[in-house]
Structures are given as structure tokens and as C-alpha cells.
Amino acid sequence: MFDSLSDKLGSVLDGLRRRGALKESDVDQAMRDVRLALLEADVALPVVRDFIAQVKERAVGQEVLKSVTPGQMVVKIVHDGLVEMLGGAAPSEDGTPPAPEGLNLLGEPPVAFLMVGLQGSGKTTSTAKIARRLQQRDKKKVLMASLDVYRPAAQEQLKILGEQAEVSTLPIVAGQQPVDIAKRAMQAGRFGGYDVVMLDTAGRLHVDEGLMAEVAAVKTATNPSEVMLVADAMTGQDAVNVADSFNKRVGLTGIMLTRVDGDARGGAALSMRAVTQCPIKLLGVGEKLDELEEFHADRIAGRILG
């Protein structure tokens, strides 16, 4: 992800860095190039506009043109702007980057994690990845349950992933409906002394009212501490619209972006936080169950700018 964006921004900013003095027109031209590179990477237009306006304002405010190293100052302003766009706070005084926003495990155990998203986004795989990490690294006892009663093999798929990840799954009861499965999972979680119950909801090909109503009903029944949208980075601009719809209708607490290992242009990642105000918490970087990364805004910004 970000390869092409990184190439383009890298060459614009390298050009600035190399120059000794800068004229206002140089900065304007560079900002036009940055704007174009972001749009080509599928970043949403309003997000690009805000970003460019903010960078320009800071460049004027900090009197960049009068400084000894104007090019480097512009690069730093663009970098900090990217970090903010991605949802990261500014680094602390001593330069230590802020910690990524973690998963919310607060509350009376078992806490529920609701995994939502479109079909094929990587929801089931991501559920197993997170469960595996919570159990292995964080020493939490995790139970997973699939609420997908529409796709024939969905519940079976989670069971198989559970076996691979060595995470328990709720026994399958044929014919049971999503809200009832969710309630049974929470009960099994309570009786079994689990810390976290992960609920993998059904996906559809498109956002529709039936899907939203079902997710909302499961949310009401389980009061989850995380409602995590799983979104495929490869779907670009559409992923942002999906995130916006889910957030408005059911309320999200976090986003997991999948297929970050692919050649997505990266605009989805850059726009999602700005559009939904909801943090990207995790990245899926491959098909394997350990291919999960925390989202560090500063590292991503660094990767984009090279």
C-alpha cells in the first residue's frame, strides 16, 4: 500500500528539501503537486482540501520562507499534517510518538467485541487474528462466535480458524438466529470465565438496511465495548463510504483495515479517520493469522514520505 503515493510525494518533497531559499510560488506549486498526488491515491476531496489549507496556514504562520531550511520545514509540516489526518496526536515534547489507540477491554468480563463489515472484507479472518493475539499475547481467555446464518459455511469457517488459532468457538446450533446466538455466546462467556467474546456478524455485498438493523439489534443485546469495522483497503473510496454508513447507523469504536499488504493506493486509510472521526486501530497485512499489526499514524506517515 502507498507505493505510488509515496513515490510522488517523495519526489515533490525531495525537490523542496534540496533548495536553499524558497519563494512563495515554489511552495504553492509543491502544494498543487501534493494535492494531486493525494487525489490520485483516492483520498476523499474534502479531506484533501482541509489538509492543503492547514499545511499552507501553518507554513505562513511559521514564517517558513524566512527560515534557514525552508524546504525541510515544509516537509515537517506536511509530515505532521499527515499524522494528524491519520488520527495520531502530535509527538510529545521529547519526540516520543504517541501510543496507538488500543482495544477497549474495560468492563465487566466477558466484554463483547462486535466485528462488522461487508462480505469478503476479511471479517472472519480478522476476528480470528485479534482473538489469537488477545489470547497469546495479552493472556485473555477468548470465545468466538459466528452470527452469520446466511452464508452456508460461515460458522464452520470460524470453527476451523478457531482450531488453527487455538481459540474456543461457540458450539454451532442449527437454525438459531443472530441475536439469539449472540446472547448464547455471552452466556457461555459468563459461565466459562471468558474475558472476551468476539462476535463475527454476517456481511452483505452492499450496505443495506437489513444488515444495519441486524447489527444494531446484536449491539443492543450485547452492549459491546468494541464495534470494529473490518474494511478492505483495496476498495478505496468505497471503503470510506461503508465506514461512514456503519458509523452513522450503529456507531463504530474502531476500524481494522485489511489487505494492507496489497497494492492499494492508500486513500481509504488516509480518509477514513478524517471522515468518521473513528480511529484505525489495526491493520491486516496478510492471510496468515499472525499477520496483524497495530496502526501507528507516525510510522505510516513516515512510510508515505520515505
List, as residue ranges, the binding site for GTP. Answer: 117-124, 200-204, 258-261
Q: How far apart are the first and last CA of the chain?
A: 13
Give dist(CA 301, CA 33) in Å, integer: 17
Instruction: Render the burial of 59-82: b for 16+ CB within 10 Å, e for the rest.
Output: beeeebbeeeebbebbbebbbbbb
Which residue is at the shortest CB distance from ligand GDP?
Answer: 284
Answer for which of 120, 171, 193, 306 binds ligand GDP (CB under 6 A) is 120
Q: Which is nearer to ligand GDP, 81 or 254 (CB)?
A: 254
- 178 is a site residue for ligand GDP (CB under 6 A): no
d(CA 72, CA 51): 18
Is 286 near ligand GDP (CB under 6 A)? yes
Q: Decide whether 40 or 287 has the Cβ nearer to ligand GDP.
A: 287
The binder of ligand GDP chosen from 8, 123, 133, 265 (CB under 6 A): 123
Cβ–Cβ < 8 Å for 201, 214: yes
Q: Which of 238, 261, 293, 294 binds ligand GDP (CB under 6 A)?
A: 261
Are the C-beta atoms of residues 179 and 221 closer than 8 Å to each other? Answer: yes
Q: How many residues bind ligand GDP (CB under 6 A)?
A: 17
Least Å distance, CB 228 to ligand GDP, is 12
What is the closest distance, in whole angstroms, from the C-beta atom of residue 256 to ligand GDP in the complex? Answer: 9
122 binds ligand GDP (CB under 6 A): yes
Neighbouring residues of 24: CB distance < 8 A, sequence distance ≥ 6: 65
CB of 230 to ligand GDP, least distance (A): 6
Binding residue (CB under 6 A) for ligand GDP from 22, 55, 124, 242: 124
Of 8 and 133, the one with the shorter C-beta distance to ligand GDP is: 133
- All residues at 6 or more sequence positions from 44 whose CB lies less than 8 Å from its CB, including other chains: 237, 240, 267, 271, 274, 275
Report the residue number, 196 or 282, with the smaller CB distance to ligand GDP.
Answer: 282
3-state secondary structure of 51: helix
C-alpha cell at 90: 502530535
139: left (phi over 0), alpha (psi -120 to 50) or beta: left
Site residues, ligand GDP (CB under 6 A): 117, 119-125, 203, 258-259, 261-262, 284-287
